[in-house]
Each structure stands twice: as C-alpha cells, then as structure tokens.
Amino acid sequence: MREKLEQIKKEALDAVKNVSLEAELDALRVKYLGKKGEITAILKQMGSLSAEERPVIGQLANGVRENIEKAISEKVKVIAEKALEARLESEKIDVTIPGTPINVGHKHPMSIVLDEAKDIFVGMGFSIAEGPEVELTKYDFDMMNIPEGHTVREWQDTFYITEDERVHLRCQTSPVQARVMESQKPPIRIISPGRVYRKDEVDATHSPMFHQIEGLVVDKGITMADLKGTLNAFFEKLYGEGTKTRFRPHHFPFTEPSCEVDVQCFMCGGTGCRTCKGEGWIELLGAGMVHPKVLAVCGIDPDVYSGFAFGMGLERLTMLRFGIDDMRLIFENDVRFLNQF
Ligand code: DAH
C-alpha cells in the first residue's frame, strides 16, 4: 500500500506538471482526490491493515493528498497567469499606429456659392427669408402682376397641384416678395434662396428643377442706382474686384423699369468665346424697380415707398464661379466631379 501511494503521488504530480488547461486539471482533481478517486480507494482498504500500520498509512495518504492538492492549486495559478498574459498580449493597442482615414464629404459647389452669396448679402444688411415650394397661384402670379392668360400660367409651363389651378410648384422665388411685403413693413431688405420648377427638358443649361436667389429692398427713396450699386458690389465680392456688369432693358410684369444683368465672361474677359457664345457677356439675372401695383397689392403705399428686386439663377452663378460648362454635372453627383471643389 505504501508503494501504491508513492506511485499515485508520482503519477499525479507528473500529470499535473504536463497539463495546460484548467479543464484537464479539474479532471485530475476528480481522478486522484475525488470521492471515487484513487486516494479514497486506498483509504477504503485501510480496514485490512493492522492497528500499528493504519495510522502510518493514514498519515502517508493524507500527505500524498496534500502534495497533490498543493501541486494542483499552484498549477491553477500558473494557468491563470498564462491566460492573463495571453489576453494582455492580444488586446495590446499600439497607439502610435496611424488610424484608418475616414472619408468625410465636403460642400457641394452649389452650397459653396450659396453660402458665399448669403455671407455677402448678410454683410450688406440683408436678412434671409423663406417661402414654400408648393405655392398658391395668388402669390406666384396674381400678386406679382402676372395676369390670367400670361404664358407662364399655361399648363404646359407650370406644374399644377390642383385642377382649379390655385396651387402649383412655384416657377420662381418672386412670390416670397409678396409674402414678405404682406407680413413686414418697410424698411425691407431680404434675400430668399430656394428651389423652383418649370416644365423644361434637361439639357446643358436647363433643368425642370433649379434654384434662384430672390432679392428685395423696399424703403423710402430707393432708386435704380441702389440696385446697380448693390449688384455691382455683390459681383465684385463673388467673382473678384474689377468684375464688370451690364444692365440691359427688359420686361418683367412685377418690375418697372426692368432689366437683365450680364456679367463679363470669366473665360475670355469679354472678347467673345465658346462659353459666352461669342457675346463676351453671360446673363445672370433679372431685376428692376418693384412695380407700384405690386407694392400696393401687398399693402405698401407706392407714393411713399419704392423698392428694387432681383432674381438670379444659383446654377448659373455656380457655373460661372467654377467654370462649369454643363448644368447636368451639378445634379449628377458624380464624386469624380464633386471632388474637384
Ligand atoms: N422671377 C424672374 C424669373 O424667374 C426673375 C426676376 C426678374 C426676379 C426681375 C425679380 C425681378 O425679382 O425683379 O425669370
């Protein structure tokens, strides 16, 4: 029995030395120290021993058990330490490795120009007004002195929402003028950027949806000189000092007198090229002195107040600012195009 215990001890200690997993160690604990384990089996046979031998073997068996228990608990610690080391190694973060770059977008060219335009006008004392894209015919046409029978009121030109032709997608930002004048008293100095809609086919210079920036100034003693001064200052800020403008007589129902404003071609500087179709000038907006009838219908006395207004195409402004020759590029959102700005 003595030899048997020595043998168990040797075997068990060897086995403990060789395992590397906690589960294997548990199995060894059961095998040697468990209720049905090898040491228990020896102790069960003690009855067959003599009275002198019994305590000696008992003591020996307890010693062997303690040895094995100690070896196992030491090994538990070793295994836990190794596991911790492995985890620390695998979770190690090298803070000096450069991060993965995140692709952030940037402003669309139209937003760049719109933000610049807003900054310039706000710097001149304008505030920003908004109006609905789904508009009442009353504001877009009636109050803007566009009478029944005018071509823009035709079904082939306008996106009507209702059969009775009282609601439609606005075809210009000018109705915001009427909305502002109805709710605000002079002095008024606003711009109103936004989307407008027309039944146009898509081509290099047309789109059924595009953007305008409307402007309106109403006060005592406002003249055409204020209009020219304001627009000239705007274009010099946007396109650079020395930018030349040209005011041509024109007709709009809501202004009298009316004009169209051209800016000298950015490509040829005015000598004539493909971009300006040989003209030397590029048309950018319509403008004029607010028609007395429009002031009156909006509740402002035209004998006391006068005003100027303008409406410019944001796509045109952007194309001219960056030398873009096809409007479709602005809407296609091809990143190879957008990345250039
Ligand atoms: N609404 C005009 C258009 O879409 C542009 C325009 C012309 C706006 C003259 C104005 C203006 O405010 O005074 O063609």
Judge if 117 and 230 occupy the same domain.
yes
What average pLDDT does the structure give for the chain? 93
Structural domain boundaries enclosing 165: 109-338
Residue 233: what pLDDT?
A: 97
Give domain status of residue 186, yes or no: yes
Q: Compute the distance from residue 176 Cα to the ligand 1 centre, in Å.
A: 11
- The answer to whether the peptide bond before residue 186 is cis (omega within 30 degrees of 0) is no
Is residue 214 lining ligand 1, measured as CB closer than 6 Å?
yes
List, for residues 104-159, the tens digit of each pLDDT value: 888 999 999 999 999 999 999 999 999 999 999 999 999 999 999 999 899 888 99
Give domain status of residue 97, yes or no: no
Q: Compute the distance from residue 340 Cα to the ligand 1 centre, in Å.
A: 31
Task: Look up the CATH number of the domain holding residue 164.
Answer: 3.30.930.10
Q: Find the helix packing angle between 314-322 and 224-239, rounded to 10°.
A: 40
Residue 58: what pLDDT?
A: 86
Q: Which of 46, 65, 91 is the last residue of a domain?
A: 91
Given ligand 1 and candidates 172, 195, 298, which is best to mutate, with the most ligand atoms within 8 Å of its CB? 172
Residue 221: what pLDDT?
A: 98
The rounded percent of the chain whose pLDDT value lies above 70 is 100
List, for residues 145-160, the tens digit of each pLDDT value: 999 999 989 988 899 9
Judge if 66 and 122 occupy the same domain.
no
Judge if 85 and 212 occupy the same domain.
no
Q: Which of 91, 121, 154 is the last residue of a domain?
A: 91
Banded model confidence at residue 52, pLDDT cuts 50, 70, 90: confident
Judge if 144 and 6 occupy the same domain.
no
Q: Compute the distance from residue 311 Cα to the ligand 1 centre, in Å.
A: 4
Judge if 57 and 114 occupy the same domain.
no
Give domain status of residue 113, yes or no: yes
Is residue 12 lining ligand 1, measured as CB closer than 6 Å?
no
- 3 state DSSP class of 272: coil
Of 33-37, 180-184, 233-237, 266-270, the least confident:
266-270
Residue with tokens 């030899």: 3
Give domain status of residue 127, yes or no: yes
Give domain status of residue 329, yes or no: yes
Residue 292: what pLDDT?
A: 98
Q: Compute the distance from residue 236 Cα to the ligand 1 centre, in Å.
A: 21
Is residue 28 lining ligand 1, measured as CB closer than 6 Å?
no
What span, in angstroms and rounded, lies between the C-alpha atoms of 16 and 69? 10
Report residue 95 as tokens.
């803070």
Q: Compute the distance from residue 249 Cα to the ligand 1 centre, in Å.
A: 13
List, for residues 298-331, the tens digit of each pLDDT value: 999 999 999 999 999 999 999 988 988 889 999 9
Q: Residue 20: count other Cβ atoms within 10 Å of its Cβ.
A: 10
Q: Compute the distance from residue 111 Cα to the ligand 1 centre, in Å.
A: 21
Banded model confidence at residue 338, pLDDT cuts 50, 70, 90: very high
Residue 230: what pLDDT?
A: 98
Strand partners, 213: 193, 312
Interval 73-86 mean pLDDT: 92
Is residue 140 lining ligand 1, measured as CB closer than 6 Å?
no
Is residue 298 lining ligand 1, measured as CB closer than 6 Å?
no
258: phi > 0 → left, psi -120 to 50 → alpha, else beta; which? beta
Burial of 295 (0-12, 13-18, 19+ CB in 10 A): buried
Residue 305: what pLDDT?
A: 98
Q: Residue 150: count other Cβ atoms within 10 Å of its Cβ.
A: 13
Banded model confidence at residue 184, pLDDT cuts 50, 70, 90: very high
Judge if 132 and 62 occupy the same domain.
no
Judge if 137 and 77 occupy the same domain.
no
Give domain status of residue 99, yes or no: no
Q: Compute the distance from residue 177 Cα to the ligand 1 centre, in Å.
A: 10
Is residue 309 lining ligand 1, measured as CB closer than 6 Å?
yes
Given a cut of 90, whether residue 44 has pLDDT beyond it is no
Is residue 311 lining ligand 1, measured as CB closer than 6 Å?
yes
Given ligand 1 and candidates 188, 217, 252, which is best to mutate, with the most ligand atoms within 8 Å of its CB? 252
Banded model confidence at residue 227, pLDDT cuts 50, 70, 90: very high
Residue 294: what pLDDT?
A: 98
Give domain status of residue 102, yes or no: no
Give domain status of residue 259, yes or no: yes
Q: Residue 78: count other Cβ atoms within 10 Å of its Cβ.
A: 11
Q: Tell me how far CA of residue 37 lies from CA of 6, 32, 48, in angstroms.
A: 15, 5, 19
pTM of the model: 0.72
List, for residues 17-32, the tens digit of each pLDDT value: 998 888 899 999 999 9
Question: For the chain, what is the domain count?
Answer: 2
Q: Compute the distance from residue 287 Cα to the ligand 1 centre, in Å.
A: 6
Judge if 323 and 195 occupy the same domain.
yes
List, for residues 230-285, the tens digit of each pLDDT value: 999 999 999 999 999 999 999 999 999 999 999 998 778 889 887 788 999 999 99
Helix%, strand%, coil% for the chain, nearest 5: 45, 20, 35
